[in-house]
Structures are given as C-alpha cells and as structure tokens.
Amino acid sequence: MPLPRVAIVGRPNVGKSSLMNLLARDKVSIVDDLPGVTRDRVSTIVHLDDPEGQGPGVDIEVIDTGGFGVYVADGQRFDDAGKDLTQLTEQIEWQIAQAVGSADLVLFAIDAQVGITPRDEEIAKMLREQKFGREQGDGSNPVPVVMVATKIDGPKWEAHGYELSGLGFGEPLMIGSLNNYMRRDFFEKLYEHVKDYESTPEPPSDLKLAIVGKRNAGKSTLINTLAGEPRVIVSEIAGTTRDAVDVRFKLDDKTVTAIDTAGLRRKKSFSGRVEWFALDRLQRSLKRADAVLFLVDATENISHVDNQLARMVIDAGVPVVIVINKWDLAEGTIGRKGRPVGTADYEEYLRKELQGLKFAPLAFISASQGRNVREVIDLAGELAEQSKVRIGTGELNRLIEKLLSERGPTNKLGDVAKIYYAAQTGIAPPTITLVVNKPDLFTPMYQRFLMNRFRELLPFGEVPIRLRIKPRSQRKGKAGVIDTERGDRIMPGAPAGDVIEIDLSDMDDAPIFTDADWADVPDDVDEYFDD
C-alpha cells in the first residue's frame, strides 16, 4: 500500500514551502518572497517519530503545491519576455486539485500575521465542498483538512493563530518555520493525525534520472510522457519549472525516478534569486542521479547555455545521454548543406558545437509524441550500470604496460617518467589512479592519450571517467615500477609530490586539479595485485 499523502495548500506567500522544508528537514522547495515561485507539485518522503517513543513512527509523502490564485490575486504578471503569466493560473490550480484529490490529509496553511483574507475564505469554501479547480468530489469521502497557522514567530502571535479557527476546521496547528517556534508541538500533533494510516515504505528507485536542458527544451513534456499524466506544468513561457520535481513511475518491474529540473539560461541574464535557487537545485539533482538525460532542442542552434550545462554534467561525473528532442520538427528540414537534415548530419554538427561530451551516446526523440522515449530510458539504465563496472588491477596494469609500449610520456632532461602501478579506485564514475614518480611529467596531452585509449579498450567507454596521478610517498617498499621507456619493472623509490587529476572529457582545455589527499590508494602495491 502506498504511503499516506499529505498535501499542503494555501494562497501565495503563506509559508507553504517553508513548512515543506521544515517537515523534510531539507531545502526541498524554493522559498522566496516573490509570489508564484512554486508552480508544480513538489513531493518528498518524511518520517515522523512517535512522540512517546513507543513505536517505529510513520512515513508520509508530503506534497507542496503552488499558491492558489497567484497571478489573479496579485494582478497581471509578466515574465521578462513580456509573456502574460496569468495563463499559468489554471495549470497551477489543476496541479493543486490533483494534490488534494490524491491526498489522505490536507494541511491548509494561513499566514497568522496577516489573518484571514478573502482568498483564504475562498479556499476554505472549496475545501469544505471538496471542490478545487475543475475537480469536484461528491462529498461521500471527504479528505480531512487540518489548518496550519504559519509564521507564529513568537508568543505574541499565538492569539492570532487561534483566531483562524473561525473558518470551521477546528483548532489550528501552529508553527514558526523560520525560527522553529512551536516545532515540537507541531510535529506531535501532526503525528496524531497520521499515525493510524497504513504506512508501507516505498522501495528505493532502481534508476534515478536527472532531466536537464535549457529553457523550453521539452523537459517537462518528457516527464509527463513518462508519468502518463500532466505531472508538471508545460507551457511556452520559458522558466515554468522552478523546483526540481521528482516523479516516480514503473517501467516493467523497475521503479524509475525522473527529476525534472529548471531550465538554465546565461547567468548574466538571471533576473533574481529564484533563478540562482533553481540552479542550486539543478546541481544537487545531478549529484543524486544515476544518469542524466541532457535535452537539446533540435529546432534551435547549440548555444552557450548548452555548453554551460555540458560542463556541469561533466563536473558531476554522471553518465549522460544527449537527447535530441523535437526531432519530428527538425528531421528533413533543409540544413546548411542545402539538403534535408538526417541524424548523421545533426550528429556531425552537435559533436562540433557541444564541447566535452563526445563520449556520450545520442538519442533522437519526440517527447510530445512519445517517440523513442522508452529506448532512451533503457539506454540510460545501461550507462548507469556501465559506470559501476570494475576492472581487476592485474588486467589494468597489463593494459598500462601495453599503452606505454605504444607511447610513453615525454621525459625531461635527467628525469624519466615511471609508473609504479595502476588501480581502479572508484566507480560511478570509474576512477583510475596511477602511482608515479613525478606527476608533472604526465602532461595533459599524454593524459588525453591515455583517456582515449581507455575509452577504446575498457568496458566503460561511454561514461565519464576520472584519471588521477598520484606520487608515491617516500618510504621503502617492495613495489615494482613500470619503466615508461622500457616497459619492464625496476625497484627504485620515488619522491612525494602533487597529485594531478584530469577530468576525462576530451576537451582540449580540460582542466587539471591538484590535491594531496588520495588516502584510498595504498602505497603497498601488493594490496592491489590480487586480480
């Protein structure tokens, strides 16, 4: 049985998202004074402890919703391109209706410092009548409603909170989300409302996919196609999605979580804090994803923003599928060469314009038509598994010897580059560490040679790889050395030095990072030569 669902509803700027973050003990929803920041349904799993300590507690799914009537209550609102945002109101209210209709409990949030407004009274009436947007219940199975008096930031506001009971939903729960005033009392009373619901924790997702792309690339359309319902708002208004929205769905016998992220644009064009918050959510989504679907609009040129996103994906080290969306609109149009564009033409163009992701596979889809969508999910799952492959140390060292015989690093006068041993020291992304005598002899050009050969010869050539160059510490040991000139083993010591790490993208300007902390790589090679 699914977890009990608790939906948070209310007019704009009453503290719904702050309440969501308080319950989640994390920054799940974006909080800002600007009305209309939350537009989609944002949900998270929350565990409530038994206040008496007598039981295991209960897990619930909490759903944050957009402010009801946001662009009506605050007058006509326009985005930075002059598009009228009031057209989003109906879609936001549809999302609220879906949240209420699927909920086991509704938390009706009201700002105690402002008091009851006409908009609050309208929402209260709709909740009593089980009516929201176009959804209307028959009254046979009403959803319980608990009022929450928000912004109770100290004792002087408690009396204002009690005044809200005049709306007919009983004594409200009280909370000051920003300073945690009455926090314990709030959690204890909320637990009493949900403790009797059956709570079966949902199994973890088999695959988490972050869906990224610039504005209006079709991310939300793809999410809705996967979910089989309008789970997130789709609009021609750029920047409709603000939060990172998790959507779970079943695919055969697997549970997949798709993370819809905000569309990115040039940082210099950011119009306020909300866009910076959305960028932070995007970066956090990349860190928790097993794979990334990087959407590119086939009807537009590759832009600076696309390359910004590519850099973020590379830095995150997550497997990525470059998804060419809206291919149904672009295929067959006359291209720069004066002939109809095909997949080979577009791939040639993209590989030239999109930096750093030449290793990533491409997929051509139409999210609105569902074309090739299933195949993309399967491909992303294969890449996620590929990033977890491990190579035995013996096999890897034999490969290194082979590559050294093909081409060794350039030696400086009086300095001969030596590799003591190689080991795979991490997965997701696969990380290969070389313990050497002088890291500075392993130039970026030579590291790129190694990377290209690794992609050709190792079973994880389509995912990001990390290469680390580590000096051997100054201590006596019996570790062998791969001589980069002769390819055989000798036994000298080696001085300590800096560690060089290169991002295994194939960019000509791939950065080199230095760090002296590679504690996961032992100096004793015998620990790593057990194949």
pLDDT digit string, tens, across residues 516-525: 333 444 444 3
d(CA 13, CA 110): 9
Which of residues 515 and 194 earns the better pLDDT score? 194
pLDDT at residue 401 greater than cutoff 90:
yes
Give whole-number Cα distances, 161 to 98, 112, 177, 185, 454, in Å.
28, 5, 14, 14, 64
Q: Are 108 and 148 in contact (CB under 8 A)?
A: yes
Rounded to two decimals, the pTM is 0.68
- Which one of 58-67, 94-103, 171-180, 411-420 scores highest in mean pLDDT? 171-180
What is the pLDDT, as a whole number, of residue 502? 40
Tell me the average pLDDT across 463-475.
87
Nearest to 109 by CA among 225, 22, 209: 22
pLDDT at residue 485 greater than cutoff 50:
no
pLDDT at residue 29 greater than cutoff 60:
no
In the chain, the amino acid numbered 249 is F
d(CA 79, CA 352): 33
pLDDT at residue 80 greater than cutoff 60:
no
Q: What is the pLDDT of residues 376-398, one digit of tens each?
A: 999 999 999 999 999 999 999 99
What is the pLDDT, as a whole number, of residue 233? 37
Q: How confident is the model at residue 28 (pLDDT cuts 50, 70, 90)?
A: low
Q: What is the pLDDT of residues 166-195, one digit of tens each?
A: 898 999 999 998 898 999 999 999 999 998
d(CA 242, CA 281): 9
d(CA 92, CA 28): 18
- Which one of 66-70, 119-123, 141-145, 150-154 scores highest in mean pLDDT? 150-154
d(CA 388, CA 465): 11
Arithmetic mean of pLDDT over the chain? 78
Tell me the average pLDDT across 226-238.
49
Which of residues 276 and 463 earns the better pLDDT score? 463
Which of residues 427 and 81 earns the better pLDDT score? 427
Q: Are 418 and 377 in contact (CB under 8 A)?
A: no
Q: How confident is the model at residue 407 (pLDDT cuts 50, 70, 90)?
A: very high
Q: Are 20 and 29 in contact (CB under 8 A)?
A: yes
CB atoms within 10 A of CB 361: 17
CATH class of 5-194: alpha beta
CATH 3.40.50.300 fits 207-386, yes or no: yes
What is the pLDDT, as a whole number, of residue 26? 72
**DSSP code per residue over 161-195:** HHHGGGGTT-SPEE-BTTTTBTHHHHHHHHHHHHT
d(CA 161, CA 176): 11
Burial class (CB in 10 A: 0-12, 13-18, 19+), 529: middle
CATH code at 393-527: 3.30.300.20
Q: What is the pLDDT of residues 301-321, one digit of tens each?
A: 999 989 989 999 999 999 999
Upper half-sphere CA count for residue 436 (Cβ side, 13 Å):
27
In the 8-state DSSP scheme, what is residue 156?
G
Nearest to 109 by CA among 73, 142, 66: 66
Q: How confident is the model at residue 146 (pLDDT cuts 50, 70, 90)?
A: very high
In the chain, the amino acid numbered 212 is V
pLDDT at residue 201 greater than cutoff 90:
no
Backbone angles phi, psi at 163, to 5 degrees: -65, -25
Upper half-sphere CA count for residue 457 (Cβ side, 13 Å):
15
In the chain, the amino acid numbered 64 is D
What is the pLDDT, as a whole number, of residue 38? 45
Tell me the average pLDDT across 418-436.
95
Which residues make up the CATH 3.40.50.300 domain(s) of the chain? 5-194, 207-386
Write out the two tokens for 298. 């086939």
Nearest to 430 by CA among 399, 450, 459: 459
CB atoms within 10 A of CB 301: 8
Which of residues 123 and 99 earns the better pLDDT score? 123
What is the pLDDT, as a whole number, of residue 105? 93
pLDDT at residue 336 greater than cutoff 70:
yes
pLDDT at residue 264 greater than cutoff 60:
yes
Which of residues 295 and 355 earns the better pLDDT score? 295
Q: Are strands 512-514 and 481-483 parallel, antiparallel or unpaired?
A: unpaired
Write out the two tokens for 121. 């009274």
Q: Which residues pair with 251 in a beta bridge?
A: 254
* Cα 209 off chain centre by: 7
pLDDT at residue 88 greater than cutoff 70:
no
What is the pLDDT, as a whole number, of residue 332? 87
Which residues make up the CATH 3.30.300.20 domain(s) of the chain? 393-527
